[in-house]
Amino acid sequence: MAPIRIGTRGSQLALAQASEVRARLMVAHGLGEEDFEISVISTSGDRILDRPLSEVGGKGLFTKEIEEALLDKRIDLAVHSSKDMATAIPDGLVLAAFLPREDVRDAFIGRTAKTIATLPEGAVVGSASLRRQALLKRMRPDLELVILRGNVQTRLRKLEAGEVDATLLALAGLNRMGMAAVATEILSAEDFMPAPGQGAICIETRGDDTATLALVHAIDHAETTTALTAERGFLAELDGSCRTPIAAHATLGEAGVLHLAGMILTPDGSAMHATKRTGVMGEAAMIGRLAAQQLLEEAGPDFFASWNAPADPR
């Protein structure tokens, strides 16, 4: 049997995620490591580090080359961070499975202070995420926010070198790399709402590849899939792009009741609209869309005129 080819970015975190997918497939199907081949694919998002993503094509730059390899049949499945996925994926491809979700919260890593509250006035915080920047500005308008691109290790090196006083990273990524100890403050998902899809690994395949679809379906986590369906519905209705500070978090409660919290902000954090909705899990996508429609109506067209800042929504 030819090895199953897994496409991924080449960062330490991306490789950890691909390895987790491989390990789960091995257990589910009684396979060995020799039955898989991990193919590292360099993406535009990895190579372009001197400009905000919105100036060069958006967060789809972290998936474009991998999806091209999938369509060209150079790989059989692709492993992504769900928050990197554009709301519309190329024709012929499907999001076939989601792994059990990791911690959705953001981690603050301070060099000159351990918490956001204790940062000195005018401290410099680095982040490439427009959502994080907007939430920070809402909490601490005095802070100076700068764009900090690169993988986790690159950002931490820049922090250590003194380029910024602090940064924020997804706790899920730190956990997957055994690096949670670098966090100096864990931010609650209620006060600092995560990005849609944060903490979840997704598997993308060709829609007509029935063998691979069956293979990965065995490791799909239904609860995570339901939550992400709601969050992606919310994002899609808002036409979420790299110019939009959007947050969303869906969870499943008792008796299969879905709870969704969503938020939109102006890039400077000065204005915010939030909503909470509940419904049955079978209507996850509709719950997400209805929540977004509510915020669109509440905010009005003038609110979105400011959604043109150069950063990325994560």
pLDDT digits (tens, 9 = 90+) for 244-280: 799 999 999 988 899 999 999 999 999 999 999 999 9
Q: Which residue has the higher pLDDT, 228 or 1?
A: 228
State pLDDT tens for residues 46-60: 555 555 555 545 556
Examine the pLDDT at 313 and tell me if it is beyond 50. no
| pTM for this predicted structure | 0.91
C-alpha to C-alpha distances, 219 to 108, 177, 271, nearest whole angstrom: 31, 21, 41
Supply the pLDDT for residue 61: 65
**Average pLDDT for residues 31-36, to the nearest whole number?**
97
Flag whether pLDDT at 84 surpasses 90.
no
For domain 106-186, the CATH superfamily is Periplasmic binding protein-like II (3.40.190.10)
63, 66, 107, 215, 239 from 69: Cα distances, Å: 10, 5, 33, 19, 26
Kindly give, in sequence order, each residue whose CB lies less than 8 Å from that of residue 110, ignoring residues fewer than 6 positions away: 116, 118, 119, 165, 166, 184, 185
Q: Delimit the CATH 3.30.160.40 region(s) of the chain.
A: 234-306
- pLDDT category at 111 given cuts 50, 70, 90 is very high
Instruction: Please say if the pLDDT value at position 301 is more than 90.
Output: no
Task: Give CA–CA dist 263/17, Å, rounded.
Answer: 28
Superfamily of domain 234-306: Porphobilinogen deaminase, C-terminal domain (3.30.160.40)
| CB-based contact 98:217 (threshold 8 Å) | no
CATH for 4-101+200-220 is 3.40.190.10
Report whether pLDDT(144) > 60. yes
* Chain region(s) in the chain for CATH 3.40.190.10: 4-101+200-220, 106-186
Q: Cα–Cα distance between 179 and 60 in angstroms, integer?
A: 26
Give the residue numbers annotated as catalytic, written as ranges. Answer: 84
Mean pLDDT of the chain: 91
Report the pLDDT averaged over residues 163-176. 96
Residue 103 has pLDDT above 50, yes or no: yes
pLDDT of residue 72: 96
Using a pLDDT cut of 70, give the percent of the chain over it: 90
Q: Which residues of 200-215 are buried (b: 16+ CB within 10 A; e: fewer)?
A: bbbbbbbeebeebbeb
d(CA 223, CA 226): 5
Q: What per-residue confidence (pLDDT) applies to 259?
A: 98
Give the pLDDT band of residue 149 (cuts 50, 70, 90). confident
pLDDT at 218 over 80: yes
Q: What is the pLDDT of residues 170-205, one digit of tens each?
A: 999 999 999 999 999 999 999 999 999 999 999 999
Query: Can you give the pLDDT at residue 47?
Result: 54
